[in-house]
Structure 1
Amino acid sequence: MIAIGLAGWGDHDELYQTGVRAQEKLKAYSKYFSVVEVDSSYYAIHKASLYQKWVEDTSSHFSFLIKAYQGMTGHTRQHYSDAETEEMFRNFIESIQPVIEASKLKAVLFQYPPWFDCNRENVKLLRAAKERMGNIPVALEFRHQSWFSAEMEDKTISYMAEEGWIHSICDEPQVFPGSVPTILKPTNKNLTIVRFHGRNHSGWTSNGATNWREVRYLYRYNKDELLEWREHLLGLEKETNEVCVIFNNNSGGDAASNALQLMNLLGLEQKELPSPPQQMDMFD
C-alpha cells in the first residue's frame, strides 16, 4: 500500500474553493489525500482538544503523521534536566491521545537537526527518546550525512531496525554535511516514510536569509524525477506493508500538484481539483 499526502493543509490553495475558511480546510484536504503531516506540533505542544477537532474533521480512513516538538529533538539548543525532558515527552504524548485513541496516528516523526551527527552520545539520546515514547510508532529522520557515511550506513540501518524506528527516507539536496542521501532501505515491516523536500541546492543552505523557510522548499519535481520515484516506491512496497509519502515542497505551491501527479503515475485513485474561479465579464 502506498499513501500520499502533504506537509500541512493550510498552504495548498489549489485544493480549496474560494471562500473556504481556515478551520474548514482540513475537511476539504481530506477529500484528496488520506494522510497529512502535522508540522505545527514542532513549534508547540498543542492542546488535546485541537487534535480531537482534527480527528472529528476527518473520516475513519484518514491518518496523521505528527512531527515531534522541537525540544524533543534538540532544535531549541537548550539544556533540559531529566525531569524537564520527562515532562516534555509526557505532555506531548498526552496531547496526541485523541489521535491515538481514534487509531489515526501514522507515526510521530523525530527529525533531528543538521548538527545532530553520528556519535555515541547522540545514539544514547535516540535510545532515550524511543524508550520515552513507549509503544507509539516513531519515525526517524536525520539531517547529518555522518549517519549514512560508507562505514556507518549499514550500522545505522541495523540500529534503527533493532530499536523499532521507522525509516523516514528523504529526497533532498545533497549539501554536505547538512543533508542525507536517499537510502532506500526500510527498517520497519509495517511502515516506511518518504519525504520530498525538493532539490533546491542554493535554498537549502540559505538559513541566514530572513525568508529562508520560503526559499528552502521552493522546488517543483518534473515528470522524469517522479517516474524514477515511482519505481523506488514500488520497490519499497515489496519490503514493507505501507509506504507513506509526504510532499514538503510547499514554498511555491507545488506540493499538491506534484502529489496528485505521482498518484496518477502510480495508478492511485484521485479526485479532480476544484475549478479555478471564473472571471466575470462586466458586459454579461
Structure 2
Amino acid sequence: MPIEEVVRDSIYIGLSGWGDHDDLYVEGTKPGDKLKVYAQHFSILEMDNSFYAIPAPDRMYKWSIQTPDDFGFIVKAYQGMTGHSRGKIPYPDMRSMFEAFKESADVLRKENKLKTILFQYPPWFDCDRKHVEILKRTREWMDGYSVALEFRNRSWFAPGYRDKTLQFMRDEGWIHSIADEPDAGIGSIPVVLEPTQSHATMIRLHGRNTAGWHSSGEANWREVRYLYRYNTEELQEWKQNLLTLLNSTQECWLIFNNNSGGDAAANAKQLMGLIGQETGPDPIRQMEWL
C-alpha cells in the first residue's frame, strides 16, 4: 500500500546526471533543453558533471533557471577535492580549488536550490588517521555548506569502526550518503541504514552488478559497473528502508545511479509509484511498450 502522505512528501527521488537518460527525451531534444525536461519528471538531481570540472558560475546559473523554484540539486564534489585525481589539479593549490568550487555552488545556494555537496571518496581512501584529518580539513573549508559523505572502502564500517565512523560524521556535520552496491570486497561498502543528521539522509543506488564492480581496468568499465536493473522485490525493500530511515531523519534524498543500461529512470519511476508519488510523464521507452 502507498505510504502516508506526510512520509511520502519527505522522500525525493531522482537520477545522477540529466544528459544520458534517453528514455526521458523525445528524439531530437537539444542537449540544452534536457535539464528543463528532466525537471518535469523529478524534483531532485545529482549533478555529476561537477566531478569532472568545476562549472563556471554563469553556467550554474543557467542550469538553475531551467528548473522550478522547488527543485533541488545535489552537487558532486570535484575529483581533485576527493583525491580521485591523485594530486593533479588545475589550480595553484588545494585551497584555491575549494574556493572556486564554492563560488560555483554558491549560485545554487543563493537560489535556495542547493541540497548538499556530495563528497564521494575513492576505494583507496581507507579508515586511516591521515584520511580522518583530510575529512576534518574538508569540513572546515566547506563551513557554511551542507555536505554529504560517501565511502568506497569498507574499512570505515568494519567491526570496531562502524559506530566510530557514524559518530564522527554526526559530530562533524556530515550527511550520511548510504550506498546500495554489490558486496564486492574491500572496495565496496555495505548498506548502513543510519542517518547522521536529523534534517536529511542521502541514498545512492549504484546497482548490484557484482561481476562488473571491479572492472575499472576495462575501456568500458563505467558501462559495465552500473549495468543493473532493480527488480520489484528489491525496490520494495528500499521502500521499507526509507520508512526506517524516516524514523530518525526528516528527509530522504534517493538517487539512482544505475545509468549505463538505461535503467535508472524506469527504476526511479517504479519506486515513486510504490510509495504513492506522482510519477509525472512516462519515460519514452515505457510509452512505446503501451
Output the TM-score relative to the length of structure 2: 0.93
- Matched pairs, number: 278
How far apart are 1:18 and its partner, in Å?
2.2
The answer to whether the Cα contact below 8 Å between 1:70 and 1:76 also exists between their aligned partners in 2 is yes
Q: Distance in 2 between matches of 1:237 and 1:135?
A: 25
Partner of 2:32: 23
Q: Distance in 1 between matches of 2:274 and 2:39?
A: 20
Partner of 1:40: 49
The answer to whether the Cα contact below 8 Å between 1:17 and 1:274 also exists between their aligned partners in 2 is no
Q: Distance in 1 between matches of 2:267 and 2:287?
A: 24
Q: Distance in 2 between matches of 1:239 and 1:27?
A: 33
Corresponding position: 1:242 with 2:251: yes
Moved >2 Å (runs of 4+): 274-279
Q: Distance in 1 between matches of 2:264 and 2:215?
A: 20
The answer to whether the Cα contact below 8 Å between 2:76 and 2:119 also exists between their aligned partners in 1 is yes
How far apart are 1:273 and its partner, in Å?
1.3
Q: Which of the numbers 143, 151, 157 marks the counterpart of 2:160? A: 151
* Structure 1 counterpart of 2:76, one-letter code: K
CA displacement, residues 7-33 of structure 1 (integer Å, 9 cap, x when unaligned): 001111111122211100000000110
The answer to whether the Cα contact below 8 Å between 2:265 and 2:283 also exists between their aligned partners in 1 is no
Corresponding position: 1:199 with 2:238: no
How far apart are 1:272 and its partner, in Å?
2.9
Structure 1 unpaired stretches of 5+? 280-284
Give the alignment of 1:157-172 within 5 angstroms: 157-172=166-181
Give the alignment of 1:25-174 within 5 angstroms: 25-78=34-87, 84-174=93-183
Partner of 2:5: none
Distance change in 2, residues 1:221/1:135 (3 Å): same
Q: Alignment RMSD, CA only?
A: 1.7
- Partner-residue secondary structure (3-state), 1:66: strand
Structure 2 unpaired stretches of 5+? 1-9
Q: Distance in 2 between matches of 1:278 and 1:205?
A: 35
* Structure 2 counterpart of 1:112, one-letter code: Y
Partner of 1:282: none
Distance change in 2, residues 1:278/1:221 (3 Å): closer
CA displacement, residues 178-230 of structure 1 (integer Å, 9 cap, x when unaligned): 01100000000111000000000111101111000111100000000000110
Q: Percent identity?
A: 51
CA displacement, residues 85-140 of structure 1 (integer Å, 9 cap, x when unaligned): 11000000001221010010010000000000001100000000000001100000
Q: Distance in 2 between matches of 1:243 and 1:122?
A: 27
Q: Distance in 1 between matches of 2:246 and 2:69?
A: 23
The answer to whether the Cα contact below 8 Å between 2:80 and 2:88 also exists between their aligned partners in 1 is no
Distance change in 2, residues 1:119/1:107 (3 Å): same
CA displacement, residues 15-56 of structure 1 (integer Å, 9 cap, x when unaligned): 112221110000000011000001010000110011100110
How far apart are 1:83 and its partner, in Å?
6.7
The answer to whether the Cα contact below 8 Å between 1:172 and 1:197 also exists between their aligned partners in 2 is yes
The answer to whether the Cα contact below 8 Å between 1:18 and 1:277 also exists between their aligned partners in 2 is no
Partner of 1:273: 282
Output the TM-score relative to the length of structure 1: 0.95
- Partner-residue secondary structure (3-state), 1:139: strand
* Structure 2 counterpart of 1:135, one-letter code: G
Q: Distance in 2 between matches of 1:146 and 1:167?
A: 16
Partner of 1:224: 233
Q: Which has the larger radius of gyration?
A: 1
Of 162-171 and 7-16, deviating more is: 7-16
